Structure 1
Amino acid sequence: MNFADYMKEQKGRIDSRLKTLLQTDVPQFSQLYKAMNYSLLAGGKRIRPILLLATLEALGKDSEPYIDLACALECVHSYSLIHDDLPAMDDDDLRRGKPTNHVVFGEGTAILAGDGLLTYAFELMAAQTHIDAAKLARCIAIFAHAAGPAGMVGGQAFDLASEGNTSIGREGLELLHYSKTGIIFKAAIELAAVLGDAGEAQKKALDTYAFYMGLTFQITDDILDVVGDEASLGKPVGSDAKNDKATYVTIFSLDEARRMAEEAAEKATAAVEPLGPKAWFLRDLVSYMLVRTK
């Protein structure tokens, strides 16, 4: 199977399961659930859940029993997008080609929809009673750390504090983007390592891959905010400039950012070479990131 077919197949599996998850028989809660599903089912590439499943397969495991854990990752990602788009954050009105959650449902409901998706993700993880209890507890701890104040929330706070400050340098920029974006990629891979009984050498290889793959993604994301097409991206371009954000393009240059993305992709690919043919998707993923248009 090639990369595009694999992405399509796995996305189909994840989307099918996501459609069944958030239901309520309480009429008074229906608008909240509608808002949650509006963002959760709005599309997207589903890279984070697919990464979890693909890493399990790279370790020789059947990914089917872990589809709900993959969906939990997507719930957290969707929550983060809802909150990132709020007027108090990035103030964007378009996401995945559709009006953002707060534009459709209002700020209050959008905030609660994000809160609901975040907390539901942990409810979904805790419900996986077929997974060894010690492994599941470890997975929940990894995921909570990545999504919380030491990870994604901390990264978003740093992002807000850094607006208008391009003097944070490469070290500050890497911390910002790793915390906001890369740490969830790393969490997906760490979960797979726990569930897939990865050995120490495999864990080390996957940790290195996670860092450089996340870096590749973020640099290319910064590039697309400058040169991307709004129709393809499904969100406004130039948002970083509008919000005076520090990015790889604003701190360095477009050409230098492209060079840095290629360098990170090479390091990510090299990191998983020892995992052999089963890690083909992990290698192809970073190649895709360099040429993606959305």
Structure 2
Amino acid sequence: MILITTPTGDIGARVLRHVLNAGAHVRVICREPARLPHDIAARVDIVHGSHGDAGVVQRALGGVTAVFWLPPGNPTEPSAEAAYVDFSRPFCEALPLSDVTHVVAISALGRGWPKPAGHVTATLRMDDLIGATGVAYRALTCASLMDNLMRQVEPVRDLGMFFAPTPGDLQLPQVAKSDVADVVARLLLSPDWTGVEDVPLCGPDDISFVEMAATMSTVLGKAIGFQEMSMDQFAGMLRANGASEGIAQAYVEMLTAKNEGMDTMIRPAPRTNTPTTFEVWCQTELRPALLS
């Protein structure tokens, strides 16, 4: 049996459909089961609750051999450490007492970066916790997600602009959530791997925000511009939207590290495991969202 966490999230929902369509027996942990599509809910075992809760995790792991693990990253937590490392401790404590042999989790590029990197630093510590339990573990170390632009659908639609605290001409790797979910599902469905390893997911090409704006303009048929914002402005926006001071600071540390080269320390070749280009992502994900 495969256990899927965050089954209503952007990545978790895609992973869930993939493994169900492959005929796997699946269990999910879900805080709001009513949010599961009816056709999905009828095909899975549902454990109601949070996967940060020890009792919930222990119930959910019965008979499970493979797990997709992803903390929800609650922005109201006091710190990234609390949101990722502390949240994952009950799971890690339960693993040695379970039948689980394989775990796949979403992580981030940045192992070996010498400075604090907020969410990345916390996620890598989570990886170390899981890897130390004795299971076979694959940490999918993702670049920035193209899909983060979906948070800016309104300014793209209404202002023809999007914003980030990053120089517009800085080329960075970007990966689509659809590709990430494909890799997760393949690993869960073919658990013929052993040991603990990172799997970098970087998308097919590095791209700058100015280049992304040009691509968006072409796909959407309207002029789209990019405007750099300061880190202070970005942190203030996060706090205004309900993030704790610790989480806002963690985002600043992470994006500062990305701007300074953290995501380009590793150059995986070839990058064929994440083939979706930004242009294709705009056509299949962004454009439909803007038209809905």
| Higher share in helix | 1
Q: What TM-score, normalized by structure 1, do the two folds share?
A: 0.33
| Higher share in strand | 2
